[in-house]
Amino acid sequence: MTSEGQLILALGDNRSLKNLHQNPLAVFIAFKEADFLPAWQGVRLYLQLEEINYDGALKEQRVAEIKQTVGNQAAKMMVAAIRFSVYETRPLLDMSN
């Protein structure tokens, strides 16, 4: 996440990328597992697509980060950097109505 409240991801040529071309809304879930479900920690981010970059500095930066953290094979699969704005944040486990 950026300080401007945006999420930037890199994606391969997959169903998620294809879906974003037709529907600019997405949900991103991040979590940390625990021994039992109520102790899991996490967040659900509700996203609005801002831009898809197939070339340029944003894509190169994300691919370099993936190469460093996950490896060269995963980095080679990335075809685009996606910038989203976050329009709602909710806890992973939300007991409210």
- The CATH number of the domain holding residue 23 is 2.30.110.10
> Is 96 inside a domain boundary?
no
Q: CA–CA separation, 33 vs 16, rounded Å?
A: 24
65 falls within a domain: yes
pLDDT at 77 over 90: yes
Domain presence at residue 49: yes
Q: Which residues constitute the domain of residue 76? A: 6-91
Residue scoring higher pLDDT (28 or 95): 28
Q: What's the pTM value of the predicted model, to 2 decimals?
A: 0.81
Could you tell me if residue 1 is inside a domain? no
41 is a domain residue: yes
- Choose among 13, 12, 16, 15: nearest CA to 29: 16
3-class SS of residue 18? helix
pLDDT tens digits, residue range 10-59? 999 999 999 999 999 999 988 777 787 677 778 899 999 999 999 999 99
As for how many domains the chain has, the answer is 1
Q: Is residue 15 part of a domain?
A: yes
**pLDDT band at residue 74 under the 50/70/90 scheme:** very high
Please give the pLDDT value at position 84. 96
- pLDDT at 64 exceeding the cut of 70: yes
